[in-house]
Chain A
Amino acid sequence: MIKANGGPSMAMKREITVTVNGQQHQSQVEPRLLLVHYLRDVLDLTGTHIGCDTSQCGACTVLLNGESVKACTVLAVQADGCEVTTIEGLAPEGELHPIQEGFWEKHGLQCGFCTPGMIMASYQLLKNNPNPTEAEIRKGLEGNICRCTGYQNIVRAVQYAAEQMRTEAAAPVGGGE
């Protein structure tokens, strides 16, 4: 949250410039502001969720300069000068990335809370390994926790996406290599 001159517990604000989903933002932030809070509270991009406080659940996964990170464990100031892609920027407005399609087709979500992070982590997984085995998919998503699906349909969703992507190229808005 951007604040006026604060009291004794406030460190000096830093100015950062971050490009998120292709759009550049200039902000003044406290050094301790988490990237996930910056995205959600300052930029109103609430698709990235917070599910834990020990960097395990992966609900906050975004791409930082094209590589997946857990935004709860990155400070906003660390993203200065970087490009961030969130779930909102994975596909152009009105379109779906094959990974998103896969989750829809294969019922890879129920409550949807882990889903944006799961999709972004899947993006990284398929970027590293476009033709993963089931074991590789499970291993690759070990950093994302889901309480609803039991993971089986998530695996199916990623397999569907991998199949789709092998036949067509898809690059996200503003966050690719």
Chain B
Amino acid sequence: MGVAAMVGTPIKRREDPRLITGRATYVDDIKLPGMLHMAVLRSPYGHARINGINTEAARNHPGVVAVYTAEDVKGAVGNVAVAAPLGLMEKGMGIRGPLAEGKVRFYGDPVAVVIADDRYTARDARDLIEVDYEPLPAAIDLEKAMQPDAPVLYEEFGTNVAMGIHPPTDEIDKVFDQTKADGGVVVKQRLVNQRLIPNAMETRGVVAEFRKVDKKLTVWSSSQIPHILRNILSALVGLPQHQVRVVVPEVGGGFGSKLNIYPEEMMAAYATMKTGRPVKWIEDRSENMVATIHGRDQIDYVEVAATRDGKITGLKLYGISDLGAYSQLFTDIIMIALGFPVACGAYDIPVVHISGDIVFTNKTPTDAYRGAGRPEAAFIIERAIDLVARELGKDPAEVRRLNFIKPEQFPYKSAAGAVYDSGDYEAALDKALALAGYQNLRAEQAQKRAEGKLMGIGLSSYIEACGIGPKGSAPIGLYESARVRVENSGTVMVYTGSSPHGQGEETTFAQIVADEFSIPIDNVMIMHGDTDSTPEGRGTYGSRTTAVGGTALYHAVQRLKEKMKQIAAHMLEASASDVTLEDGKFFVAGSPQKSVTFNDVAMAANFSNTLHPSIEPGLETTAFWEPLSNTFPFGTHICVVEVDKDTGEAKITRFIAVDDCGRQLNPLLVEGQVHGGLAQGIGQAMYEGAVYSEDGQLLTATLTDYAMPLTTELPDFETESTVTLSPVNPLGVKGVGEAGTIGSTPAVANAIADALGVAHVDMPYMSEKLWKVMHQQ
């Protein structure tokens, strides 16, 4: 491993100059000649039959070019893509075209689109569309939606349950019985992981341009997945793959909500193909909150058996996943494929029983949102550990320590399915305890309790599985790619299949290249987002960009380095195996006085005349890399909270996070990812939650009602790290994008339960709720 000088340094980002001066291009900044604007008419009902749509007045409005409904696109546009339909979904449950047909199934369900000269006209005309709705009862409560008398979204199937997994319970029953017989305990808890709205600050948007002359479609989209979008969209609109280009401009946040192919992208593509003019669509925030995928929304029943010493003997988990009204790309697999395999968390649990149901309801479709299944899993096991500690009267830190998977057990095959790469959970715990001054905190807590004050301390020793994704884990192969070109002047162009949108790989990837080639970082340029120039890739999500994309880059660079050594060897009249590259010079190891520079070799390769005939001219290569397993970041978070007895208001007074993401390419950026992750995890615990009325109206449909954490609502974070290299990739990187979110939510939940002296309180921890809990006792 040659990474040295640049990697590991907290240099500031090369992305920033354009962003801080307002000179970056996001999709709504794109203007093309003749561009039309699209507005989407959405269902005001959670569940209703469509008995008729009258678009005449809209079509006749001045400035309107076209109005489309489901009828117009039938046969011309395919169904919204689902990566892995499960159960009844294989027969069509949850699958639909881009516009509602016959029924609307969630508040915000797209019904029609207006294509007009400008955005104001498009809105005016949209208001003229008449839809004859027949409202139906809505299935909103998740558990009620599973009952035989529930309103059914897909009447032809007679149920809202798409699939259930219910293996026999003999083994776990035996373990539980034995544990109880031996004097151990079994703790049980129902947990709600509430529905969240991702709310990236930039709403979704797309500009689609179809050139009739060569039938080439170009799509600019605020997306996390340029290549997947291109591949799927081309198929959906009936164009050959090679005639579609996707360009991802600057993206103002994704968090998983832009890891998808949406109806609006499909309709914009359709509209440009029909009209022959570019078509732009941008959501406003209210639309984003109803029509962009929601996150989480899972109800879990956990049972854990433990000896009197606190050693866990068995885990039983039943999870229900609320899919919403339709399936988007990964809707149905979040809980089952991503969450269940890590249900044991950081703990060595010998016997596990996992069951679940996935259920459609009259709400916005759910899908991946920062953590995607792993926050839910971490929440369950971390709450369970605390419940065991509470039941036994033990320190939750010590119960964790007792049950941790030990460093010598890696790679560790969990009874829940995942194989963990590496970890030292005790080291992270101890570092967090030290940073928090844990014993002092407990002493402070005892004193405050004596004074009648409510202070809580909550731990979370999480793990997560990322670096998505291992060979075989998805139908389409989740590898990553990099094309690297060393130019005649010695500058280096990199085209990555990754698609960063704030994570900073234009900087960190350049750090890798600069170190490996030992050249100034300013000589390296990282390009991404354009499917015409980048090799086939899989995009940015699942904390994969460095672990997978960075590794592909590393391999490409090594390949070119080897070739450059060969060229240098000829120039030095030496053997290639004796040549080394240091400080931008190639020389025979031990004889630095005779050298050729990196630029010398770059020029020789590109100008070719002096090359040996056996060496191909040029210095350009493309590498693809697919991991064989996930990587597993981990850490311990400690949350200190105080709850006001009179108002129920909870305030986080301290938040300590010790996270291990393996090797850190840029500690400044790692810290930034942790901060942002903590903010979203704490946001879920303290403030956020999407709420529906009984008839299916989204009540939290603007930022007035949905509480995004503000500057005054988050504490100063105290962050540290440990570094446990991952053996999965040569960089030793685990990933960090989601870890902060995954670890923090349970730490807050544990702190609140500790403060109030109760077993469990469901999130979010608004003052009214905590006040009620306190006054019920």
Knowing A54-B704, A112-B252 touch, does A48 contact B22 (C-beta < 8 A)? Answer: yes
| A54 & B703 in contact (Cβ 8 Å cutoff) | yes
Question: A110 — nearest CB in chain B belongs to which residue?
Answer: B502
Looking at A7, A90, A148, the one whose CB has the most chain B CB atoms below 10 A away is A148
Mark interface residues in A29-48 (1 if CB within 8 Å of B CB, else 0). 01011000100110011111
Min CB–CB distance B21 → chain A (angstroms): 7
* B29 pairs with A105, CB closer than 8 A: no
Let me know if B120 and A150 touch, CB within 8 A. Answer: no
The verdict on A88 contacting chain B, using a C-beta distance below 8 Å, is yes
Which of A139, A147, A153 has the most chain B CB atoms closer than 10 A to its own CB?
A147
**By the criterion CB–CB under 8 Å, are A47 and B23 in contact?**
yes
Known: A30-B120, A112-B250. A119 touches B20 (CB 8 A): yes
Interface locus among A75-83, A96-104, A169-177: A96-104
Q: Is A84 an interface residue (CB 8 A)?
A: no
Q: How far is the CA of A9 from the CA of B119 in the complex (A)?
A: 14
B253 touches A147 (CB 8 A): yes
Give a binary string over A101-126; 1 marks a CB under 8 Å from any B CB, 0 the rest: 00111010111111110010000000
CB atoms of A151 and B714 under 8 A apart: yes
Q: Smallest CB-CB separation from A104: which chain B residue?
A: B16
Specify which chain A residues have a CB less than 8 angstroms from the CB of B250 in the assembled complex: 111-113
- Chain A contact patch, size range: 35 or more
How far apart sit A142 and B703, CA to CA, in the bound complex (Å)? 13
Among A88, A139, A154, contact of B22 (Cβ-Cβ < 8 Å): A88
The CA of A151 and the CA of B777, in the complex, are separated in Å by 37
Q: What CA separation (Å) do A154 and B672 show in the bound complex?
A: 10
In the complex, chain B residues whose CB is within 8 Å of the CB of A49: 26, 28, 201-202, 252
CB–CB B23/A96 < 8 A: no
Within 8 A of A (CB), among B652-672: 668-669, 671-672
Q: Do A104 and B13 touch (CB < 8 A)?
A: yes
- Asked if A28 lies at the interface with its beta carbon under 8 angstroms from chain B, I say no
Report if B274 contacts A (CB, 8 A).
Answer: no
Interface residues of A in 1-39 (CB under 8 A from B): 1, 3, 6-7, 9, 30, 32-33, 37
Do B20 and A96 have beta carbons less than 8 Å apart?
A: yes
With A53-B702, A107-B668, A151-B711 in contact, is A113–B676 under 8 Å at CB? no
Q: Please state if A59 and B17 are interface contacts (CB–CB under 8 Å).
A: no
- Determine whether A159 belongs to the interface, using a CB cutoff of 8 Å to chain B: no
A30 — which chain B residues lie within 8 A by C-beta? 120
- Report if A57 contacts B (CB, 8 A): yes
Question: What CA separation (Å) do A74 and B203 show in the bound complex?
Answer: 21
B21 touches A96 (CB 8 A): yes
Contact with A along B272-291 (1 / 0, CB 8 A): 00000000000011100000
The answer to whether A107 and B13 touch (CB under 8 A), given A147-B708, A150-B714, is yes
> Is residue B15 contacting chain A, with contact meaning CB distance below 8 A?
yes
Contact of A115 with B704 in the complex, beta carbons under 8 Å: no
Q: Is B118 an interface residue (CB 8 A)?
A: yes
CB neighbours (8 Å) of A33 from chain B are 120
Does B241 interact with chain A (Cβ within 8 Å)? no
Q: A48-B22, A87-B22, A112-B15 are in contact. Are A148 and B120 (CB under 8 A)?
A: no
- Is B87 an interface residue, CB under 8 A from the partner? no
Question: Do B710 and A142 have beta carbons less than 8 Å apart?
Answer: yes
A141 contacts chain B at the CB level, 8 A cutoff? yes
Beyond A52-B703, A109-B16, is A150–B63 a contact (Cβ under 8 Å)? no
A165 interface hit (Cβ, 8 Å): no
Give the chain A neighbours of B121 by CB distance below 8 A. 3
Q: Which residues of A contact B251 (CB under 8 A)?
A: 111
Q: What are 9 pairs between A and B in contact, CB < 8 Å?
A: A1-B120, A3-B121, A6-B63, A7-B62, A50-B284, A113-B253, A147-B199, A147-B680, A147-B708
Q: A7-B61, A51-B285, A96-B20 are in contact. List 13 more A-B contacts (CB 8 A).
A: A41-B119, A44-B31, A49-B28, A57-B703, A88-B22, A111-B251, A112-B24, A142-B712, A147-B200, A149-B676, A150-B714, A152-B675, A152-B714
Would you list the 6 A-B pairs with minimal beta carbon distance, nearest first?
A47-B22, A113-B252, A112-B19, A111-B502, A150-B679, A87-B22
